[in-house]
Structure 1
Amino acid sequence: MPALAAPALVVLAAEPLYLLVDTAVVGNLGTTALGGLAVGGGLLAYVAALLNFLAYGTTARAARRTGAGDRPGAVAEGVQATWLAVGLGTVLAALFQLLAGPLTRVMAGGPGPVAEAAEQWLRVASPGLPLLLVALAGNGWLRGVQELRRPMVFVLAGSLVSLVLCPLLVHTAGLGLVGSAVANVAGQSVSAALFVRTLARELAGSDVPWRPHPPALRAQLVLGRDLLLRAAVLQVAFAVAAAVVARSSTAQLGAHQVALQLWLFLALVLDAYAIAAQTLVGTALGARRPDEARHTAVRVVRWGLGTGVVVAVALLALRPVLPGVFTDDPAVLAQAGVVWWFLALMQPLAGVVFALDGVLMGAGDVAYLRTVTLGAALLGFLPLSLLSGWLDWGLPGVWTGLTLFIVLRLVAVGQRVRGSAWLGESVSP
């Protein structure tokens, strides 16, 4: 498990780690720039998360084909996922260019300096969407064939370019917030080029064609449909939470941006075990070995829980110093201190939830995950976020909703994996 999880951890952590550095660099420009990054970057992140079926759905399908001894079929899944990434990314990038102003004004709570900064960032960064989605598709099929080291190298290469360029463009070159967006696109270009080159080399030694195959695209979209709806519910919930916080105060929005980026970063760190489980469960069920799949589920829960506890302890120990890395604004730091307890104490629960999500995704049990996510958002996260806006509860109310969201999912996915229905969902590729 750790042998597969370690490269996955690097891949998952690279992008949010860059975003954390980006947040720290932009935070030194002032509260308005930090708020603009929170709104503009949040919108782009919502779309990327919405389309993460290009990675997760492709991993599950490719892993089951690998388990059945059909590597060319697994590679073909990568080809079709890449075509989907290019098409969807191009359409969405064009929509962001058309709607950047209205979207950022809605998210920022109306016209103003934060909305203007967010629109400027989004217009420069959104052309990188096709590149970002191509990298998701590449990660998906390579994970499915248990090739996790090459994605690690490719993602690190792109992130390194972004990490170097971000402070140079923002501060040294004097581009300000625009420099952050340019650095983002530059890094995505490097990663996407490496993934496409690898796919081309794989196809050169096989009979798998490059061209789009409509039946295969439809099959991927069917699996992606439930993952897409699940991701959509998640992103709507996070968008509502961000909008509520934005209407409270700029300081609360800045603190929410810092805490949320840390939460997303840590979620992906914990998700490394889920990626390993997804690959191993999909391969086991493709080879018709359900006992092996169940054993993997037990192991991944133990690793997720243990890592979540370690992360929680580390966050509490670093509470006096870590928020100051991202901003020196006293008002933002005060709000960050409030939300820090929520961020830390939910980590053990999140570690188990994300691990079990990976198990069920590997089994193709995405319809159940969709229903669970929808229910947890509608019963927990969204109601408390909206109440926080109406009753002026601010950040504590929003983050209580996020904690309840995790607890409800934990109960539901835990009960599912204890049963046997998930083992029969995707035994064949």
Structure 2
Amino acid sequence: MPITSRDREILRLAVPAFGALVAEPLFLLADYAIVGHGLGTTAVGALGVAGTVLTTLINLCVFLAYGTTASVARQSGAGNHARAMRNGVDGIWLALAIGAGLIVVCWPLAPAIVELIGATGTQAAQAVTYLRISLFGAPGMLVVLAGTGVLRGLQDTVTPLVVAVGSFALNAGLNAWFVLGLGWGIAGSAWGTVIAQVAGAAVYLVVVARGAIRLGTSLAPSMDGIRQAGTAGVALLIRTLCLRIVLLVATVIATRMGEAELAAYALATQVWTLLAFALDAIAIAGQAITGRSLGAGDVPATRDATRRMTQWGLWSGVLLGLLVVAARPVLPGLFDADPRVAELLLALLWPVALFQPVCGVVFVLDGVLIGAGDQRYLAWAGVWTTAAYLPAALLASGLGVVALWCALGVWMVARWVTLTRRAAGTAWLVTGA
């Protein structure tokens, strides 16, 4: 399709967002490779269990990024720049409060959480170690989410790219040093992540503080603003909770299938996450463009951008699926997988590749509706698509790990149906600040 001015706007936001988003899963893959080479299959499984728990806790708070992007972009589009920055500052204070709460609540519960997922013995002990250490980075992780949302809402996706590459490069270097050089075991991988996340959060605090001072916005916490930010995030929290329930159920089922199945599933999940973040770059552009154009009252521009971004998502999904097929023979070797894990991973990569075009459309429309502030619909859609997934997962539990991944495909198709139907209507096209 020919490149238009709309495409250039999308690419201006999406390309740096792609770099920022893809940096995290790339370095998480590096973590898996380091742990796999240095510590073996049991540690990889433990990293998969603890990583799933930690990712669940952090991703439940993704509204700090998504909600902030939408509110800041809408206020900016309406010309209310000081109000846009006030929303961003409130989001960061909310992030710090939630992060502190996660440490207090989850640190003593870490053994019970790991046991709930199904890990036992040495694997469970290593998972608890990784989870408890990583919790100390939770406030930093959430500040990164909120700070990223502020800058995306201001149509700046370059600064998040620089911060992401720097912090996750630091993460990879520290993990290699701590795990392979100093012999700290799985605790070394966790400490590397904590240090890198805190460093990234510090950069965001400086950037947002400078912007607020320039606009005359107070840096002091506003209880009304923090309360409003939290209330606005409830629907996105429900949506995200539904997503995490799906992924947690899949992890629990994979854990009960066996150690090799869990390790293969964890590796396939990291590959899928890398692809998801790549596709989500267009969704990030969708959040920013949709919020700004609706804030300015321009419905035709919103429709045009949505149509073009959906096309980009579809064809990007096709391309990524083909890349997975091409890279499939070499991927098990990157993780030093043992023969059984490698065999299962090779089988799993087929459905991973097959569903990429569906993922491309789903992620884009999800971002568009988030940017529009259509969180209530997204919450209800999350409930219905989770209900569609659970019977498929139950059936897959007795058929093997490949069937389990196909159940995730059922979930993605259900999301595609709910999102395309909503985007075709007009209820989400609400204009103004």
Using structure 2 for the length normalisation, give the TM-score.
0.96
Is the 8 Å Cα contact of residues 94 and 229 (structure 2) preserved in structure 1? Answer: no
Letter in 2 for 1:81: G
* Deviation, structure 1 residue 354: 0.3
- Select which of 374, 380, 383 maps to 1:374: 383
Tell me the equivalent position of 2:114.
104
Deviates further, 145-154 or 204-213? 204-213
Per-residue CA shift, 1:117-163, capped at 9, x if unaligned? 10011111110000000000000011101111111111211111111
1:326 equivalenced with 2:335 (yes/no)? yes
| Residues in 1 aligned to 2:378 and 2:212: alpha-carbon distance in whole angstroms | 33
3-state secondary structure, aligned to 1:236: helix
- Select which of 220, 225, 240 maps to 1:211: 220
Deviates further, 293-302 or 396-405? 396-405
Per-residue CA shift, 1:353-374, capped at 9, x if unaligned? 1001111111111111111121
| Residues in 1 aligned to 2:35 and 2:93: alpha-carbon distance in whole angstroms | 34
| Residues in 1 aligned to 2:346 and 2:163: alpha-carbon distance in whole angstroms | 36
Tell me the equivalent position of 1:419.
425
Tell me the equivalent position of 2:141.
132
* Deviation, structure 1 residue 394: 2.3
1:233 equivalenced with 2:239 (yes/no)? no
* Deviation, structure 1 residue 219: 2.0
Per-residue CA shift, 1:286-339, capped at 9, x if unaligned? 000011000010010011111111100010011111122113311111111121
Tell me the equivalent position of 1:402.
408
- Aligned Cα root-mean-square deviation (Å): 1.1
Taking only the aligned residue pairs, the percentage that are identical comes to 39
Is the 8 Å Cα contact of residues 71 and 145 (structure 1) preserved in structure 2? Answer: no
Letter in 2 for 1:179: G
Tell me the equivalent position of 2:5.
none
Letter in 2 for 1:256: Y
| Residues in 2 aligned to 1:14 and 1:369: alpha-carbon distance in whole angstroms | 27
Is the 8 Å Cα contact of residues 325 and 350 (structure 2) preserved in structure 1? Answer: yes
Tell me the equivalent position of 1:339.
348
Tell me the equivalent position of 1:9.
18
Is the 8 Å Cα contact of residues 170 and 180 (structure 1) preserved in structure 2? Answer: yes
- Select which of 60, 73, 78 maps to 2:88: 78
* Deviation, structure 1 residue 196: 0.3
Tell me the equivalent position of 2:271.
262
1:357 equivalenced with 2:366 (yes/no)? yes
* Deviation, structure 1 residue 16: 1.3
1:383 equivalenced with 2:383 (yes/no)? no
Tell me the equivalent position of 2:432.
428
Tell me the equivalent position of 1:30.
40
Deviates further, 35-44 or 201-210? 201-210
Is the 8 Å Cα contact of residues 36 and 115 (structure 1) preserved in structure 2? Answer: yes
Per-residue CA shift, 1:362-420, capped at 9, x if unaligned? 1111111111121111112x22222333xx21212221211011111111111111111
Is the 8 Å Cα contact of residues 240 and 386 (structure 1) preserved in structure 2? Answer: no
Which blocks of at least 5 consecutive residues in structure 1 are unaligned?
Answer: none
* Deviation, structure 1 residue 167: 1.1
Which blocks of at least 5 consecutive residues in structure 2 are unaligned?
Answer: 1-9
| Residues in 1 aligned to 2:83 and 2:425: alpha-carbon distance in whole angstroms | 30
Using structure 1 for the length normalisation, give the TM-score.
0.97
